[in-house]
Structure 1
Amino acid sequence: MDEPTDVRVRSSASRENLQRRLDAVVRENRFTIAVVFPVVGAVTLVGSAEGVVPEPFAYNALLLLFGTAVMRSPLLVGLLPRIDRRGVGALGLLTAYTYAIEFVGVRTGWPYGTFEYGIRLGPMVADEVPLALPLFFVPLVANAYLLTVLVLGDRARSLPLRLGGAVAAVVAVDLVLDPGAVAVGFWTYVPPGGYYGVPLSNYLGWLLSGAVGVVLFDLAFGLDPEAREALLERVRTCEFALDDLVSFVLLWGTINACYGNWLAVGVAGLFGLGLLRTERYDLEMVRTAIPGGSDGSERG
């Protein structure tokens, strides 16, 4: 074995070993990540909005970013083995687009409608857009896309059906997110809209953003049939890959329920049904994730 080949083999072995360790960390902490963190987050955000949580914990940006990053970790670890150079490039474009469209939205009111941030979601870029914005937006696209292709099964081979279904799922995600975010004061629309303070223009804007996001995510993982099948195989066999969507349903479903946004709660419930259909997080998954349960090993 020549030296370059030996280096590649060692590098590959190191990556596989790191991936196994990351998988083990997430798997051993599934319940804490996917259930405890979003429930505590919901209580903290509602308490902050209602003036119950004292300073410096109310709307604490560091805690907010830390909690979000933890809840995103199963998705990142789940996708990591399937991210190649093309994937990095497409996700880089999606990140750039996320900043660009948000700057346009803040400055012009297009395409979402005129809105203002009510609190600082961590450090801001040019004092206008949260630096961590991709951490909030890109995983929403990824979760919607992955759940869609899993639910569609073999029908996901159809490009129009795959992309159309994923875009619809992204918009549905915001039917849950935006009413809750408005309720706890993350941002407000001027003037307020008819859907729990959210205007119709916001969802027309999400159609645009969702379409761009889904196309870029498809370029990263779904353009090549073999690459798409490898991604789906990873998601099917990695039981925690969609736990970030579990966190989303619990966090924003709970917040919307606290404020009586029942249509938004119903949409969150539909995502919950989708997760159950794809055998993501049922009662057995909860049992095996709690310390003292079974080992929670991957299902084939």
Structure 2
Amino acid sequence: MELTPGGQARGAALRPSRAFGVPALLAMVVAQVASGLAARPERFTALIVVLLAVSAVAFAAGEWGLRRAIAAFGAAVLTGYAAEVVGLLTGFPFGDYAYTAMLRPQLAGVPVVVALAWGGMGLAAYAVAAAVAPAGWARVCVGAGALTAWDLFLDPQMVRLGLWTWAEHGPYRGIPLSNFAGWLLVSALVMLVVGRVTGGAGPARGLLVLYGVMAVMETVAFAAVFDPPDPLVAAAGGITMGAFAALAWRRPWPR
């Protein structure tokens, strides 16, 4: 069978996804399950985030090319890290919070894995937005919403594990609403920089899978695995992330 130039290019593009993205994603699922069953689940946090980052970059490289994928990931990491440093120093835009010493290493009080998480899920949320909305402010807004939806799971879980604390008790499992307003703002900045670096690249199938897998795993964890379970967080995060995932998968993908 003879491959066309387009087919050869497509096959080459899929290699990073198959070689690194899929194994990293499967390993992340295993690590998530292990953390849910472990007596000290916080010990798995760094491993899960690293696997998330590897799978995100690999899936992005399969569609956008390796250089653009790495550049987009780096831009998202730096944007999230800068926002975290400003947040710790000033309380803006998230509110008054602090990281404990449980996540190491830290730079200027910000755990490195937190910055990596901004990068990995930032790429996944951008892919969701690219599948739903045209380039421009519509894509930025959708992506910001998709990334903030993840925090409906993330913050309750990390507070539960004692990885960071809030100065004031908020209405959503102790988390102030200012946190989610800050997430929307920073997530919009992440969407802007990823879009600029990638030249407005389209959706990456692997990243859409990553986003959907994360939504399912977090929903199941809060509904049935964590002790005690938390149906409120399972419903809030599952419905919100699930809605964004469903919108992304129902759209026709460009050839």
In the alignment, is the contact (CA less than 8 A) between 1:176 and 1:268 conserved in 2?
no
Aligned CA distance change for structure 1 residues 265 and 185 (closer, same or farther; 3 Å)? farther
TM-score (structure 1 length as normaliser): 0.66
TM-score in terms of structure 2 length: 0.76
Alpha-carbon distance between aligned partners in 2 of 1:88 and 1:147, rounded to the nearest angstrom: 18
Give the one of 214, 217, 220 matched to 1:251.
217
Matches within 5 A, 1:191-202: 191-202=168-179
Which residue matches 1:294?
none
Match of residue 79 from structure 2: 97
Per the alignment, do residues 143 and 93 of structure 1 end up closer, same or farther by CA in structure 2, a change over 3 Å counting? Answer: closer
Structure 2 counterpart of 1:172: 149
Determine helix, strand or coil for the equivalent of 1:77: helix
The 1:264–1:205 alpha-carbon spacing in structure 2 relative to 1, beyond 3 Å, is: same
Query: Structure 1 stretches of 5 or more lacking a match?
Result: 1-14, 281-299
Q: How many residues align?
A: 239
Residue identity opposite 2:184 in structure 1: L
Q: How does 1:102-181 map to 2 (within 5 A)?
A: 102-118=84-100, 120-126=102-108, 128-152=109-133, 156-157=134-135, 159-181=136-158
Name the structure 2 match of 1:283.
none
Aligned-residue offset at 1:162: 1.8
Q: Is 1:25 paired with 2:19?
A: yes
* Structure 1 residues 89 and 275, CA gap change in structure 2 (3 angstroms): closer
Name the CA shift for 1:67/1:204 in 2 (closer, same or farther; >3 Å): closer
- When residues 254 and 271 of structure 1 are mapped into structure 2, their CA distance, relative to the original with a 3 A threshold, is farther
Shift of 1:150: 0.9
In the superposition, relative to structure 1, how do residues 124 and 193 fare at CA in structure 2: closer, same or farther (>3 Å)?
A: same
SS at match of 1:59: helix
Q: 1:37 to 1:79 in 2, by over 3 A?
A: closer
Please give the alpha-carbon distance, in whole angstroms, between the structure 2 residues aligned to 1:146 and 1:78.
10
Q: Deviations over 1:165-191 (max 9, x none)?
A: 222222222223222322333322121
Superimposed CA distance per residue, residues 92-119 of structure 1 (whole angstroms, 9 cap, x where no aligned partner): 4443332222112123322111112245
Aligned counterpart, 1:10: none
**More relative contact order, 1 or 2 (CA 8 Å, 6+ apart):** 1
Task: State the structure with more CA Rg.
Answer: 1
Task: Output the CA distance in 2 between the equivalents of 1:65 and 1:89.
Answer: 22
Q: Is the 8 A contact 2:60 2:123 kept in 1?
A: no
